[in-house]
Amino acid sequence: SAVISQKPSRDICQRGTSLTIQCQVDSQVTMMFWYRQQPGQSLTLIATANQGSEATYESGFVIDKFPISRPNLTFSTLTVSNMSPEDSSIYLCSVGRASGANEQFFGPGTRLTVL
């Protein structure tokens, strides 16, 4: 399994600001994903981070709000832009070996609170 780290682990931000979350993997992986998890809720896929091309966003998520970078096979960032209290959540990156049909390994998550 891959070892995944995320920075920051938590943050408290003001409304209207932006936060960039980093995800680092200890080995090269094909697929990287970004999820959002409200406390006590399930995981919702935000987007698939594609290396060398634009991320693929799920319904309800747009690039202007959640820009994603994937400069190489071990690193990705997710930015939460122009934040509002509704963006308060846990953001998790995960990696998979091939397509989404294979098991995913999750990072420890970033707990974001927007005031």
Partner 1 sequence: GQQVMQIPQYQHVQEGEDFTTYCNSSTTLSNIQWYKQRPGGHPVFLIQLVKSGEVKKQKRLTFQFGEAKKNSSLHITATQTTDVGTYFCAGHTPLVFGKGTRLSVIA
Q: Which residues bind partner 1 (CB under 8 A)?
A: 1, 33, 40-45, 48, 58-59, 92, 99-109
Nearest approach in angstroms of CB 42 to partner 1 is: 5
Nearest approach in angstroms of CB 87 to partner 1 is: 19
CA-CA distance, 12 to 19, in Å (whole number)?
10
**What are 47-53's contacts with CB under 8 Å, separation 24+?**
47/78, 48/100, 49/76, 49/78, 49/93
Residue 14 vs 101, nearer CB to partner 1: 101
Residue 39 vs 85, nearer CB to partner 1: 39
Residue 16 vs 108, nearer CB to partner 1: 108
Nearest approach in angstroms of CB 91 to partner 1 is: 11
CA-CA distance, 68 to 63, in Å (whole number)?
7
> Which residue has 């832009």 as its token pair?
81
Residue 65 vs 97, nearer CB to partner 1: 97
CB 79 within 8 A of CB 17: no
